[in-house]
A and B are shown apart, each in its own frame.
Chain A
Amino acid sequence: MTTEAGQTAQTVQALSPRRVTWLRRRDAAVRSWKSFARHRIGVAGLVVLVLFALMAVFAPLLANSNGLEVTKATGPVMGAPSSHYWLGTDESGRSVLTLLIWGSRVSLFVGLFATLISVVIGTLIGISSGHFGGRIGGLLFRLTEWFLVIPFLPLALVLASLLGASLVNIAFVIGITSWPGTALLIRSQTLSIEARPYMERARVLGAGNWHQMTRHVLPNVMPMVFANTTLTVAGAILAETTLSFLGLGDPTRVSWGTMLDSAFSNGAMSLGAWWYLIPPGVCVVLVVLSFTVVGQALEEIFNPRLRQR
């Protein structure tokens, strides 16, 4: 700590302000990474996530995409795991392992895309409702509260059924139904930052709303946004799985949720086809759990109040 501060002090004379800011940010990032690395469960979650991400990216190398086509399937119907089909086959003779590998792409894509939508809306509304007091802020806060009481699953079901099933629509539905939580969190963070003296200084010096929000509030709420994002991804992947299970997934794509849907509707349970039921669920739990523990580790780092837990 002291040496880092010393270095920064030395470089102040020699370097431009921009460079100083950059160095300070780099120091902060290194410090955050070090405290994250001390969090063993968080690191374990990160490792699992990296493995799943690699699986999704390198899906074409791991499993031939021909294995996804029902017409080209050659395996037995609901066949048990064998040396050829490590995780057995589904109702049309496709390898469950191939479906699992390709399904990771859809589940992760929808999860991340939905989170992007949700976090952008949540952060925008959260910061604006915290920054602008009075009528605009109050109205935005009310709007957030209203959306918060709409039950997520029924609204998502209705929207998905009205918009039609496609990957982008599913992500859109999850995104616009899950932002209020983020917005409330960001709003309360913004309110606490708005009360700090440097905000008053910025206002006195004539900073406009845009400058205040982007240069002072946003950098300070960013860590919380980041921690919240990881938790939102977990929720979005769960939501995608649930919507697909209820038959609202994209029928042309395989995801872990649609796999469980076809396992359920094709009677995998009464046929005793555990290889079709267990693996997709385990993948969902692993990914969601990893996002959750990484998110919690980040929250602990960025929110000192939680540090003693």
Chain B
Amino acid sequence: MTAAAEVGVEPLPDVPQQRARSSRRSTGLWFLVRKLFGAATSLLFMLVVNFFLFRVIPSDPVRTLARGRATTPKQVAALTKTLGLDQPLPVQFLTYLKNTATGQFGVSFQYRQSVGSLLIDRLWPTLALVGTSTILSILIGLWMGTLAAWYRGQMFDTISTTGTIVLYSMPEWWLGLILFFLFAVGFGPIPGVFPIGGLIDPGVNGSSVHGVLNMAWHLTLPVVTLTIAYLAEYALIMRSALLDEMGEDYLVTARAKGLRDVLVRRRHATRNALLPVVTLVALNLGFIVSGAITIETVFSIPGLGLLTTDALKIPDYPVLQGAFLVFSASVIVANLIAQLLYGWLDPRVRL
């Protein structure tokens, strides 16, 4: 790390060492502050969008909320008061900020339960699904991309690049439908072995060993779907990043030293190519959470995604608002991590 930092901020010969070191540290600190500030403004912007989206676009929120139900003027007045809509807009915004900060997102129309606790209940199936498939897709995707670039133009490259571009053009939920159709329902000679949806069989205790295995069995097909759907992007980006590095002189040097091909690839080329890939991976983390929306719908896994699509049918605005907040916040956090990681790996970025 320190060696890398010296490459970025080369101290001039006549500058005292002490001063150079302090300025280097302050560059890093300044970078951190700048990125944190950027994330904070993004978060604020997102909160403003979230506030206005649900209050301004529907011309009359109360009527939208009471849509399809018979309401008396008295009820409308009461609802207006509960929602705080009789207050001026800035006051409403401050109340909203306070409620968001304390985790009070209101009460779901559909479940008659606080949105905050609903979101927390539904968070972990999504995290299990998304976490597992992210790790798998990164590992497999990077491996495929590396090999494809290293053996460019050969059969593996042709097959994997064609396959990844086709996968990239495919809605991930359609792939899910097909896999569900083939392996959960069964078609022709293929028996339907996998469960047809849900997270756990009814009556099975989720905290026992049997329950955990049962859940893993239920999550297998969705995880496979998301893994296949996402590895395409990682493979493509890894391939192009490695191709960028392959013309570099230091690889010639490494070969001239007599290193074997595998070592040149592993120790030199791949490491440098990983730099842009890391950023992409971290950026993607935030979006994958929302990518789970469709897959959870197909496999009826009770996570945040299914909660969102169910809320759309009502429409259950407090739930939608809360879920939107969680999805956007996860992107902002992932984005911040990506930038900090990139700054840590590549000191040139910090300047």
Contact = CB atoms under 8 A, between A and B. Distances in A.
Nearest to A163: B57
A151 B174 contact: no
A155 B324 contact: yes
Contacts of A278: 178
A150 B321 CA distance: 13
A7 interface: no
B178 A146 contact: no
A159 B298 CA distance: 22
B335 to A, nearest CB: 5
A150 B328 contact: yes
Interface in A26-45: none
B228 to A, nearest CB: 14
Contacts of A154: 290, 293, 308, 323-324, 327-328
A274 B178 CA distance: 9
A31 B104 CA distance: 61
B45 interface: yes
Interface string B329-344: 0111001000000000
Nearest to B38: A145
Contacts of A284: 170-171, 174
A152 interface: yes
Interface residues of B, number: 52
Contact of B290 (A151, A260, A277): A151
Contact of A234 (B57, B169, B187): B169
B293 A246 contact: yes
A278 B175 CA distance: 10
Contact of A281 (B165, B177, B328): B177
B33 interface: no
B41 interface: yes
A289 B45 CA distance: 35
A241 interface: yes
26 contacts: A142-B41, A145-B42, A149-B46, A152-B290, A153-B290, A153-B291, A153-B293, A154-B290, A154-B323, A154-B327, A157-B309, A157-B320, A158-B53, A158-B320, A158-B324, A159-B57, A161-B312, A245-B171, A246-B297, A248-B312, A260-B174, A264-B177, A270-B196, A281-B177, A292-B168, A309-B243
Interface residues of A, number: 40
Interface in B161-199: 165-166, 168-171, 173-174, 177-178, 180-181, 185, 187, 196
B131 interface: no
Contacts of A248: 312
Contact of B165 (A157, A161, A289): A289
Contacts of A285: 166, 169-170, 174
B58 interface: yes
B294 interface: yes
Given A162-B53, A269-B181, A149 B169 contact: no
A242 interface: yes
Q: Is the interface of B mostly helix, strand, loop or mixed?
A: helix
Given A149-B286, A245-B173, 7 more contacts: A146-B42, A146-B45, A152-B290, A154-B290, A162-B58, A162-B64, A260-B177
Given A157-B308, A162-B57, A247-B313, A277 B169 contact: no
Contacts of A125: none
Given A145-B42, A155-B324, A246-B294, A241 B49 contact: no
Interface in A232-246: 234, 238, 241-242, 245-246
Given A163-B57, A247-B312, A149 B331 contact: yes
A115 to B, nearest CB: 16
A158 B185 CA distance: 32
Contacts of B286: 149, 151
B92 interface: no
A242 B53 contact: no
Interface in B101-143: none
Contacts of B173: 242, 245
A161 B315 contact: yes
Contacts of B80: none
A149 B324 CA distance: 12
B185 A272 contact: yes
Given A159-B53, A238-B171, A264-B298, A149 B323 contact: no
Contacts of B93: none
B272 interface: no
A150 B49 CA distance: 10
